């Protein structure tokens, strides 16, 4: 059958109808981000098969391959035209989130928000909420919510929301943080809980004290330092010590370990906040995610070394590998432990260094708060300049200072994503439809007068002396809340309290000559975790 008689103008209508049908009855249901590379391969394979069929099946041998390929491309374009026309009409006029305000391009694709960012998601969300209100549609199925009641509704113990698709960013790798199935997460969390018992925390305290002494020794020598840099080196060395039985040697070298530089490079990519399907597509391209996989490989090798070398003082890994009883892990166990090792290092280091730097930034700006803190801590300082955590655990001003830093500079300031249940949820009197991605940006809530009195001011006393200044206590969730909250919070708070106490009792701090602290915020980056800018301080030993 000759080629021209087979292909007519109406032939392009059928692929378009197929595109509309595939959107309405397939792509518009369920999650598809884990299959994006499969879809692309299938699409390219279908193009090749169609081209070959048209070239050889029909009696048109004089047709060159280029003409056949052009025809196939036109048919494919018709299919894609139908698919995306249906998708866009649905998202603009029929989508369950169509009544929520937000930038119009965000309705079309979640990818649009990424094009507006320069590692500044949290401040961009703050601008959107200032313009559009408490509920802002930030993507085709994404909703940012700054309502005071939303934190409990979305993250709380009774919330029916689960982890959103974004947590598949390590696929096929797995760690506690990335487990989306509630039952699987709860089971693994019980194992993790053993690592943060009071007995083990006391052992961690002694190990962290040794690393902290190395930090103090280096800072005494330096006098004028970028404190942000040094608390970052310290935080990673502490978590290396507590995870693998040895630090990264960063304090001694005065620079990041090479594996941490790989991690920082990866976090820069995460800070683009591209949709999960696009992120997984990028990581599937050879060479684009090499740093990430080299970092994971490093964590795996370090953990394997730790399995074969039991420390005298138990560390975090002790609880995670106790079931092995000295045996090498199976491939499945190895993958899970690799993920957990990565989680400990990332979650316990970047977040702690952000908070420590923020505490010192605010204490330098408010020296009267530093003096109050010293007066409160003085009775508990031992001959080594340290304080036992049990002695300072409940000190009002110390906890107030740390909480204010966590409030104003939450280590994860932007999007901690959750997925609403199929039946949807109610927030106050607003219905949020089911199967939507929702989040409550801590950066925005911290600056809301609905949640705090004088929200822009650093007032530690609001947490223990003036409780009326915290208008919505449930909005404060720097470690998240509910079944997915940060299981390492006890360790993080212990490290924060003891490190702030040691530093503030050892040094007088002020901005270095010619510095005013502006770079600390101006050069900061929201890469899921908040990475603060330079903070050059002059330290004088007391």
Q: Which residues are annotated as a binding site?
A: 486
User: What is the 3 state secondary structure string of 41-95?
Assistant: HHHHHHHHHHHHHHHHCCCCCCCCHHHHHHHHHHHHHHHHHHHHHHHHHHHHHHC
Q: What is the rounded distance in angstroms from the CA atom of residue 360 to the CA atom of residue 309?
A: 37
The answer to whether residues 313 and 208 touch, using CB atoms and an 8 Å cutoff, is no
Rounded to the nearest 10°, the torsion over CA 286, 287, 288, 293 is 90
Q: Report the distance separating Cα 349 and Cα 337, nearest Å.
A: 18
Rounded distance between C-alpha atoms, residue 362 and residue 257, angstroms = 28
Sheet with strand 507-511: strands edge to edge: 224-226, 536-541, 507-511
Interaxial angle between packed helices 290-307 and 331-365, expressed in degrees from 0 to 180 and rounded to the nearest 10: 110
**540 beta partners:** 508
Q: How far apart are CA 69 and CA 65, in angstroms?
A: 6
Question: Is the CB of residue 107 less than 8 Å from the CB of residue 91?
Answer: yes
Rounded to whole angstroms, the Cα distance separating 131 from 109 reads 20
Cα–Cα dist 527/333, whole Å = 29
Query: Where is the binding site for heme, in residues?
Result: 486
Query: Long-range contacts for 99-103 (Cβ within 8 Å, ≥24 apart)?
Result: 100/135, 100/136, 100/137, 100/143, 101/132, 101/133, 101/135, 101/136, 101/137, 102/128, 102/132, 102/136, 102/137, 102/138, 103/128, 103/138
C-alpha distance from residue 215 to each of 208, 252, 261, 542 (Å): 11, 9, 20, 16
């Amino acid at each position: 059958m000759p080629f021209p008689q087979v292909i007519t103008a109406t032939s392009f209508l059928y692929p378009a109808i197929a595109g509309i049908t595939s959107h309405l009855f397939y792509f518009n249901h369920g999650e598809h981000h884990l299959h994006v590379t499969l879809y692309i391969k299938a699409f390219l394979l279908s193009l090749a098969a169609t081209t070959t069929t048209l070239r050889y099946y029909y009696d048109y041998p004089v047709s060159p391959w280029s003409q056949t390929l052009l025809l196939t491309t036109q048919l494919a374009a018709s299919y894609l035209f139908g698919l995306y026309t249906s998708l866009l009409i649905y998202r603009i006029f029929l989508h369950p989130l169509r009544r929520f305000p937000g930038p119009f391009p965000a309705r079309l694709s979640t990818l649009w928000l990424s094009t507006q960012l320069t590692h500044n998601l949290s401040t961009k969300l703050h601008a959107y909420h200032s313009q559009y209100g408490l509920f802002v549609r930030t993507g085709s199925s994404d909703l940012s919510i700054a309502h005071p009641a939303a934190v409990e509704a979305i993250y709380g113990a009774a919330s029916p929301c689960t982890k959103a698709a974004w947590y598949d960013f390590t696929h096929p790798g797995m760690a506690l943080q990335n487990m989306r199935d509630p039952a699987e997460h709860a089971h693994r969390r019980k194992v993790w809980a053993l690592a943060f018992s009071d007995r083990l925390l006391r052992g961690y305290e002694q190990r962290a004290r040794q690393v902290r002494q190395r930090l103090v020794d280096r800072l005494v020598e330096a006098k004028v330092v970028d404190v942000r840099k040094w608390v970052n080196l310290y935080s990673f060395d502490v978590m290396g010590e507590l995870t693998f039985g040895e630090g990264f040697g960063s304090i001694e070298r005065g620079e990041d370990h090479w594996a941490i530089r790989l991690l920082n490079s990866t976090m820069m990519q995460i800070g683009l906040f591209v949709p999960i399907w696009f992120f997984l597509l990028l990581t599937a391209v050879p060479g684009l995610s090499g740093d990430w996989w080299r970092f994971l490989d490093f964590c795996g090798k370090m953990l394997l070394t730790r399995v074969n070398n039991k420390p005298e003082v138990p560390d975090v890994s002790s609880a995670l590998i106790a079931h092995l009883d000295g045996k090498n892990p199976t491939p499945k166990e190895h993958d899970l432990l690799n993920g957990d090792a990565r989680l400990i290092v990332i979650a316990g280091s970047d977040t702690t260094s952000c908070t420590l730097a923020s505490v010192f930034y605010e204490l330098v700006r408010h020296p009267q708060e530093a003096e109050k803190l010293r007066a409160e801590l003085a009775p508990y300082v031992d001959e080594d300049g340290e304080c036992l955590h049990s002695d300072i655990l409940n000190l009002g001003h110390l906890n107030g200072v740390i909480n204010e830093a966590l409030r104003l500079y939450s280590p994860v300031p932007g999007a901690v994503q959750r997925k609403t249940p199929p039946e949807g949820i109610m927030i106050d009197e607003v219905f949020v439809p089911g199967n939507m991605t929702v989040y409550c940006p801590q950066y925005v809530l911290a600056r809301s007068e609905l949640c705090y009195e004088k929200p822009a001011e650093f007032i530690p006393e609001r947490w223990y002396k003036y409780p009326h200044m915290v208008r919505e206590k449930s909005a404060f969730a720097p470690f998240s809340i509910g079944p997915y909250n940060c299981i390492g919070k006890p360790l993080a708070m212990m490290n924060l309290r003891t490190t702030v106490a040691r530093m503030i009792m050892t040094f007088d701090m002020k901005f270095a000559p010619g510095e005013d602290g502006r770079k600390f915020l101006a050069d900061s980056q929201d890469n899921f975790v908040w990475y603060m800018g330079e903070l050059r301080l002059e330290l004088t030993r007391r």
